[in-house]
Amino acid sequence: MISIKSEREINLIKESGHLNYLTHELLKKHLKPGITTNELDKIAYDFITKNGGYPSCLNYEGFPKSICVSINDEVVHGIPSNRKIKNGDVVSIDFCVLLNGYHSDSARTYIVGDTTEEVKDLVKNTEEALYVGLQQIKEGAKIGDVGAAIQEYAEAHGLGVVRELVGHGIGTEMHEDPDVPNYGTKGTGKTLKAGMVIAVEPMITLGDYHVGILEDDWTIVTQDGLPSAHFEHTVVVTKDGYEILTKE
Ligand code: MF3
Ligand code: CO
């Protein structure tokens, strides 16, 4: 069942999303060669809890940390560890914040230091693919419109769209209906209505889109070992568009 959030609920998710945004901004400042992913995790845990929130990836279905940090060929759900960030790494940071009973979910990908033009384009085009998808959103549009736009944009730039993981509704639960795939066919799927809150999260690969999972049972990696990128915002559907809730 897809829930329609009240104005009060949307405002609570916006507060959660704002704390999510501020946490991303703080992590961005610390993301430098030499920092470990555990150190980033602790910075996020301390900041979110100090501000009255809970980092809701922590203990979610047994996930052991507060944030997901996925490097290079890791697509999503990388587990923080003593691994040090290196110059040239492509680092995706993804996490949820629970505040006032509502979750928000957002992801960003950074290039640390310098890398090749094609990896820079991967990251830039993945962020753009998120916005191309979001631009489809308004009351009356179909879920398939979002995925079709993302897929068309990514493939036109020679990139792959991960199929195994999808965006989702969000609210009092981290993952609610509907699924929001990053691929699909225009004009198909459920109809968007004002007050639906969804997390749109393209996971885009430089090479082939097929993925596997590491022995830790969490980390999703590309099968061909090429890098991938991930951007995500939590948004509310409105009568004539959408509003990003994981923002300033
Ligand atoms: N944005 C991720 C998702 O929607 C957050 C996952 S939290 C984790 O799947 F605990 F599953 F890692
Ligand atoms: Co998500």
Where do the structural domains in the chain lie, given as residue ranges? 7-244
With both helix axes pointing from N to C terminus, report the angle between 117-134 and 143-156 in degrees, rounded to the nearest 10: 160
> Which residue's alpha carbon is nearest to atom 8 within ligand 1?
57
Q: Is 60 in the pocket of ligand 1 (CB under 6 A)?
A: yes
Q: Which residues contact 7 (CB under 8 A, 6 or more apart)?
A: none
Structure tokens at 212: 């596997």
Rounded to the nearest whole angstrom, what is the distance from the C-alpha of residue 174 to the centroid of ligand 1? 8
Kindly report the average pLDDT of the chain as a whole number. 98
Structure tokens at 111: 């290039």
Q: What is the largest CA-CA distance in the chain?
A: 48
Task: Count the neighbouring beta carbons within 10 Å of the beta carbon of residue 173.
Answer: 13
Instruction: Write out pLDDT tens, residues 52-69.
Output: 999 999 999 999 999 999
3-state helix/strand/coil string of 41-99: HHHHHHHHHHCCCEECCCCHHHCCCCCEEEECCEEECCCCCCCECCCCCEEEEEEEEEE
Of residues 172, 29, 41, the one with CA closest to residue 95: 41
What spacing in Å lies between the alpha carbon of 33 and ligand 2's midpoint? 26
Q: Report CA(36)–ligand 2 centroid distance (Å).
A: 23
User: What pLDDT is recorded for position 248?
Assistant: 97
Q: Which atom of ligand 1 is nearest to the CA of 201?
A: 1
pLDDT (tens digit per residue) in 109-148? 999 999 999 999 999 999 999 999 999 999 999 999 999 9
Contact 93, 69 (CB under 8 A): yes
Q: For 155-213, what is each residue's pLDDT tens digit?
A: 999 999 999 999 999 999 999 999 999 999 999 999 999 999 999 999 999 999 999 99
With a pLDDT cut of 70, the percent of the chain lying above it is 100
Whether 58 is in the pocket of ligand 1, judged by its Cβ within 6 Å, is no
pLDDT band at 73; cut points 50, 70, 90: very high
pLDDT given at position 163: 98
What architecture does CATH give domain 7-244?
Answer: Alpha-Beta Complex (3.90)
| C-beta of 68 in contact with ligand 1 (< 6 A) | yes
Environment of ion ligand 2 (residues, CB < 5 A): 105, 199, 201
For residue 64 and ligand 1, the question of a CB distance below 6 A is answered with: no
- Residue 200 and residue 7: Cα distance in Å, rounded? 20
CB 224 within 8 A of CB 207: yes
Task: Give the span between the Cα atoms of 99 and 153, in whole angstroms.
Answer: 34
φ and ψ at residue 241, rounded to 5 degrees: 175, -130
